[in-house]
Structures are given as C-alpha cells and as structure tokens.
Structure 1
Amino acid sequence: MSSNYRNFRNNVPWLILFLEAVFIVLFYFLSSDDGAPISSIYPAFQDVNQMVIFGLGFFLTFLKRYGFSSTGFNLLIIALGVQCFMLIEGLLVFFLLSENEDSLTRITKATMSMTSVVISTGAVLGKANPVQLILMTVVEIIVFRMSRWINTTFLEVPGDIGMMHVHLFGAYFGLAVSSRFSEPSPRSEKNASTPKSDLLSMLGTLFLWVFWPSFNSVLVVQEKSKAICNTYFALAVSAVTSFVLSVLTTKDGKFRMTHIHHAVLAGGVAVGYTAKSIEYPWIAMILGLLAGVIAILGSYCIQRCFNPALKIHDTSGVHFIFGLPGVLGALAQVVLFLINNWPTLPSLGYLVTIGIGAFCLTISAALITGLITGFILNLKLFKTTPVSKYFEDQFYWEFPHLAVGF
C-alpha cells in the first residue's frame, strides 16, 4: 500500500504543475483583454457556475465512502478544464479566424462544456484515480469542443443547440471509458449509499433543478424568456412524474430517494434542444413527462439487462439520467422542426438529415474517443486503482481521526 501512496504523491502534483505551467505560458500568447461589459451575462454565468461546481459536486456524493473525492476532484477537474477550454477557443480564433467573443462569454461556454466531463466522471466515479481524471478531462474537453465545431461549421447547428449536446457527449463518453475499467464486486459494501450521503446528493440535485433554466437559456439571444419558462415546466412535470413512478414501482409503495434523484432533472435535459422554439407550455410538459418516465423505467432495464450484457458499470447512472433524456430531446427537436416546417417540403428532408446527423455524430465521437481514452487510462503507466480500493476516500485523503480502518 505504501508504494501506491508514494506513486500517487509523485505523479499527481507534478502533472498538475506541468499542466498549469503550460496553461500560463499559452495564455500569455493567446489571451487578450477585451474590456467588454459583463452586466448582461454575469448573473446567468453565476447560475451556471454554481450548477457545475456546487450542484454537480454534491450530486455525486451518494457513495458513503467517497464524499471528499466526489466534491474535491470535481473542483480540481473543472478548474483545469475551464482553462484548457479557453486555450482551445484561443487557438480556434488564431488559426481559423473565428469570431473572438468576450472573455466572460467564453468562460461561460467553458463552464457549460465542463458539464460533459463531470457527467463522464459520474460513470467512473470511485474507480478512476486523479491522474486518470485529469487526463480524461483534457482529452474530453478537446474532443467535445471539436465535435461542436464540426456541428456548427459544417452542419450549421446553432451554437446554443450545439451546446446542449453536452449531456449526450458526457454520458456516452463516460460509458465508453467505464467499459475499460474492471467491474467492482457486486457484493462490495462500499458501492452503496447511506441516508446522509443520499441527502447530500439530493441537495446537489435541488441546486441543479433550481438553476437549470439558466443553463438552457444563457446562450439564447432571442426568445430567452420562452426558453426559461419551457425549461421550468418540463422540470416541474418530470419532478412530479418521478414521485408518481417511484410509488408505483416500489414493492412497499413508498417513495425512493434514488428515483427522485434520477428523474427530476430529466425534463431539463430533454427540453434543452427545443426550449426556445416550443410555442406552447403543454408541449414542454409532455416532453418532461416522457423524460421522467424514461429516466426511471430506463434505470430498471439498463441496470438489469444492458449494463451486465456489455459489462459496463455505470456508478452514477449517467445513461438514464442524462443520456436517454438527451436522445429524447434530440429526437424531439427533429420532430418539432418537421412539424413546424412541413410546407417547405423540398428542403425539409435535407434539414432533418442534418439534425439527426448532428446528434449521431456527437454520440459516435463520444463512444469512439471514450473507448480509446479508457484503454489509455488503464495502462500501467497511469497507476490504475486496484478494485479493492474502489469507492474509497481514504486511498487519497487524510483522515487524522482514523487510526486504523475506515
């Protein structure tokens, strides 16, 4: 065990210092002070920042022995990932002569893009060590930004809709990476929650629920009010649906916290693609209802059939919390576009193909690069965490009050 601790101590600090030094040097050459006013977007940026750091950080604290790592590593990878994203944006501006946005808008997009990485870490939560998480962050943020660039440049997907692919990319990238990690023992006591850890996780869920309308509307230029209202209605219905299905699907007819935790956000994920274009609230409400149903029923089917067959262990259930509602939202966008533009039939088929191709490209890029990344991360070079130390804070954090054991 002592050798593992020495390796951890020798690798992590130097990797972080190396990346930070590279970031500082590159910022010196690529960044500029635009001096743009910030009053219009700063409140929404605050909401998104709280979602990603506080909301998602506590959202992942449901494991009873992995709370320090869930919140601490989340902050670490977000701080590094945002800097990495800003550099990628600077390189795109420099080499491709793309539009140079003000710094706060770019930081907001970087923070939103990091949602993809945090979702992916949920799939390997408790299994990946800090070195693996940092490398996964750098790779994923680069690939996600490039997939967005392809969608917006060649498929002409609007920038705000392209950002909503963050849920799809994060879920399927994380699943692909997770497939390369060893599965934990099904009898492991550490891969479980306690009432206290479930309560902390639900606190993060509530923060995400409250601020999700800002996430779906922050990049919307026109119809921002419509995007906010439709997101709220979809979230409200998915929350109500989660309570209904929780009672109906439990043997004792009681609410189950894991069901609420899984499904209340599904409506916000699904409506993200169409929030600004839905004309009537009842459409958003139907979308929230379907998303809630998919999240809860999907958890039963995926955990019992899909994951065991493919030998995938999805620690946080990102597939049915973010992945399946994201697929629903992408398909709903195509269907609503088809209905609203039916008179323009000659060009409609091409536009529908473009819409379907955009989210298929996102999923394909996530799966392929996720598999490659998972294979690389499990090389001995990166000191793979032994299965016996999965889901355990004490492998990384100091607990002075514990003499022995945990």
Structure 2
Amino acid sequence: MPSKYRNFRNIMPWILLFLEAVLIILFYFLFSGRDAHVSTISYPAFQDVNHMVIFGFGFFLTFLKRYGFSSTGFNLLIIVLGVQCSVLIEHLLGFRIHKREDEDGLKRITKAAVSMTAVVISTGAVLGKANPVQLILMAVVEIIAFHMSRWINITSLRISDSISMMHVHLFGAYFGLAVSSRFSEPSPRTEKNASTPKSDLLSMLGTLFLWVFWPSFNSVLLEKNNTKAIYNTYFALAVSAVTAFVLSLLTAKDGKFRMTDIHSAVLAGGVTVGYAADIIKYPWIAMILGLLASGIAVLGSYCLQRCLHPALKIHDASGIHFTFGLPGVLGALAQVVLSALENWTESSRLDYLVMIPIGAFCLTISVALITGFITGLIVNLKLFKTTPVSKYFEDQFYWEFPHLAVGF
C-alpha cells in the first residue's frame, strides 16, 4: 500500500480532534444559557428516530460483502459529528437570522437527527468509494446546504417546518447522486461490489428497524395530527411491503423473490406518505400511495440502472434513487394534489397552494444537485487522497483484521 495512504490515515485522528474542539468551543458560546422550555417531544419519540438513524441506516448499508465494518462504523462517525453541526447551523439560521423563539434541547437534537437522514442517504450513493475524510467533508457541506435550503423554503416560500424537513429524502438522494457522478466508476467485473447471504441478512435487519420506526419519523415533528400521521404511515408501509413481494415475484425470471427488491421497496411507502401523513383523511389514500411508491421503487430500478445511470455515468451503490429519490418526488407531488383537492373551492388560494410547494420542491432538488456536484469536485481533489479504484468496497483498507481472512 503506498506510504501516502498510511500518512493520510495517521492525520485522521488530528482532523477529528480539531473538529470536535471547534464544536465544543462553539457550543460553549452559543448554548451557555439554561434551557427553561418545556419539551414538546417525548424521549421515546426521539429514541425511535435515533434508532432509525444509527441502527437502522447503519445496517441498511451493510449489503456489500467486504464493507460491513465501514458501513456501520463510518455511519456512526458522520452521524455523531453531523448532529452536532446540524444543531449549530439550525441555531444560527433559525435564531440569529429569523429571530425565532428558542426551542428546547430535546426538540433541537431530534430535528438534527432527522436532518442527518439526508447525509446517510447520500452516503449510500458513494458507499465503498469515499474515504472517511471525504465522508466527513461531504456531511458538513450537505448539512449546511440542506439547512440553507430549508431556511429559504420557510422564510421566503412560507413552507411549514415539518414539510420542509420531509424534503430530507429528496435532498439526500439527489445530493448523493451528484457527488457520486464525480467518482471513478468501479469495474463491472469486480467481486467486491456484491453481496452475500450473510450481508443481505444484516442489511434486511436494518430495513426492518427502519420499517418499524418510520411512523415515528413521519410524526415526531408534527405539532398536531400526530396520531393520524402514524396511522397513515403504517398503512402506507404495509401496502408497500406487500406490493414489493408481489412485484419481486412477477419480475423475476426464475419465479423467486429477490432480496434487493424487498430491501428497497418496503420503505418506499413511508417516504412517499411522509409529506402528507397528517392531512390524509382516509387510510385508503395512504394505501394507494404506498402501492404506487413500491411500484416505482421496484420497476424504476430496472429502467434507471440499465438506461439512465449508465448514460449519466452515475454509480448508485445502494440504489438510493429508486428507494428514496423517486418515492420522495411522488410524495411531494401527492402533497400538492391533496392540498389542492382539499381547498379547491377557494380559487383565490388555489394557485398559492399549488405553486408554492412545487417551487419549494424544485428549489430543494436544484440546491441538492448543484451543491452535490460542487462537493463531488472538491472531495476528489488530490488533497483528500481519493481511494484508488482497486481498493473500493474494501474494509481492510481502513480497519484492522488480525486474522487477515481472505474473502472477508
């Protein structure tokens, strides 16, 4: 292994210590006062979101047979750093610029954990290709860009805070795809860019955790109609899971279920219904959205992976486009349609109810693509010692294996 990569890893601890020292100093100056506010979020609700982000997404990305240590370990690293950054940025944008009333600590950290979903989703696009410093830089830039996008949506377009937060799926997917387009594409013959039954099982374990806790994710930041959001989210998830099994069987050449289809499509309903979970009046609407989302996730994977992604030279390592991106687009459009139908008699407000959410949707995707593309260019500079293609999807490049097991 070239010596420059050994030196690069020796610098890593000092980079992390420097970042943590800066964060501690900033927290000292910005959060010195006592928090006298009564929390509007219960600890169990925060715990559900924390389980999703740390445990659920950590194991969700363990499908690569030689990248399990890095998938879970780096996920934890960027989340714990990113949550601290997110709290600071939310404070500066929300309280210094917009002069909003201060929030209690539990709500603050819950919003930061939800925001980090964008970063975890983006990480899936460059899984196995980006080194730890590239991931940390990507996380910091993305969380800043995401909060700036939210701030514009809230202050200029008057989008509600909960709706702007649900753009986390869209932002994470398209930011990650833009970053991924700047990395060298791995060889299609490589054996490491594959899964094993054991890695697929661990990944499905993460999917199950995400599935179980997703109703909390969609309802935790809502000020009202929390129960309705949980109710609708569960039915959307249930129908998307059933549809995933149906479509997996119908599209398989050998007439057997494919774990990759189940792994991605069972969550699509939760992503889609998140935008309108609190305004859907009847469960059958949420069920239809879950069915459509799962269909897009399964069928879209074939078209995108075989047609669009090769043409754009995008290697979507974990399929975030059809797991989070396209269902997110469907959810944003569904929220516009449902709001318009609910207020169709008020012609004076109809244009506002349609154009403003569409504007926020377009702004979110545009900011994600532009900042993601720029971030991809930056992290691939020689300064950041880009991982060679031959070391893609390889744990042993970063982690100690005393036994040096071949084919781990």
Tell me the equivalent position of 2:119: 117
Separation in 2, partners of 1:291, 1:213: 16
Q: Secondary structure at the match of 2:66?
A: coil
Q: Secondary structure at the match of 1:118?
A: helix
Report the CA distance between 1:41 and its aligned residue. 2.0
Asked whether the equivalents of residues 161 and 273 of structure 1 are also in contact (C-alpha less than 8 Å), the reply is yes
Asked whether the equivalents of residues 273 and 333 of structure 1 are also in contact (C-alpha less than 8 Å), the reply is yes
Tell me the equivalent position of 1:363: 365
Separation in 2, partners of 1:191, 1:394: 15
Report the CA distance between 1:91 and its aligned residue. 1.8
Report the CA distance between 1:35 and its aligned residue. 4.0
> How many matched pairs?
406
- Decide which of 294, 297, 314 is 1:295's aligned counterpart: 297
Tell me the equivalent position of 1:15: 15
Matched, 1:206 2:218: no
> Which deviates the most, 248-257 or 31-40?
31-40
Asked whether the equivalents of residues 274 and 332 of structure 1 are also in contact (C-alpha less than 8 Å), the reply is yes
1:101-121: per-residue Cα shift (whole Å, max 9, x none)?
Answer: 111101000000000000000
TM-score if structure 1 supplies the norm length?
A: 0.98
Tell me: CA distance 1:245–1:338, structure 2 relative to 1, closer, same or farther (3 Å): same
Asked whether the equivalents of residues 56 and 118 of structure 1 are also in contact (C-alpha less than 8 Å), the reply is yes
Matched, 1:262 2:264: yes
Report the CA distance between 1:2 and its aligned residue. 4.2
Structure 1 residues 167-186: aligned runs within 5 Å? 167-186=169-188
Tell me the equivalent position of 2:57: 56
- The AA in structure 2 aligned to 1:336 is L
Report the CA distance between 1:53 and its aligned residue. 0.2
- Cα-Cα RMSD: 1.2
Report the CA distance between 1:351 and its aligned residue. 2.4
Separation in 2, partners of 1:91, 1:101: 13
Asked whether the equivalents of residues 11 and 131 of structure 1 are also in contact (C-alpha less than 8 Å), the reply is no
Tell me: CA distance 1:404–1:272, structure 2 relative to 1, closer, same or farther (3 Å): closer
Unaligned runs of 5+ in 1: none
Report the CA distance between 1:9 and its aligned residue. 2.1
Structure 1 residues 6-405: aligned runs within 5 Å? 6-31=6-31, 32-38=33-39, 40-92=41-93, 93-402=95-404
Separation in 2, partners of 1:403, 1:262: 30
Separation in 1, partners of 2:54, 2:310: 31
Separation in 2, partners of 1:221, 1:96: 20
1:352-403: per-residue Cα shift (whole Å, max 9, x none)?
Answer: 1101001110000000000000000000000000000000000000000117
Separation in 1, partners of 2:328, 2:190: 31
> Which deviates the most, 91-100 or 65-74?
91-100
TM-score if structure 2 supplies the norm length?
A: 0.97
Report the CA distance between 1:162 and its aligned residue. 0.8
Report the CA distance between 1:10 and its aligned residue. 2.8
Separation in 2, partners of 1:341, 1:308: 42
Report the CA distance between 1:89 and its aligned residue. 2.2
Separation in 2, partners of 1:5, 1:52: 30
Separation in 2, partners of 1:404, 1:288: 42
1:281-327: per-residue Cα shift (whole Å, max 9, x none)?
Answer: 00000000000000000000000001000000000000000000000
Report the CA distance between 1:252 and its aligned residue. 1.1
User: In percent, how many aligned pairs have the same letter?
Assistant: 78
Separation in 2, partners of 1:403, 1:274: 49
Report the CA distance between 1:4 and its aligned residue. 4.0
Separation in 2, partners of 1:99, 1:9: 43
Separation in 2, partners of 1:226, 1:40: 17
Tell me: CA distance 1:405–1:227, structure 2 relative to 1, closer, same or farther (3 Å): closer
Report the CA distance between 1:15 and its aligned residue. 1.4
1:177-219: per-residue Cα shift (whole Å, max 9, x none)?
Answer: 0000000000110000000000000000000000000000001
Tell me: CA distance 1:400–1:5, structure 2 relative to 1, closer, same or farther (3 Å): farther
Q: Secondary structure at the match of 2:96?
A: helix
Asked whether the equivalents of residues 66 and 407 of structure 2 are also in contact (C-alpha less than 8 Å), the reply is no
Asked whether the equivalents of residues 171 and 368 of structure 2 are also in contact (C-alpha less than 8 Å), the reply is yes
Unaligned runs of 5+ in 2: none
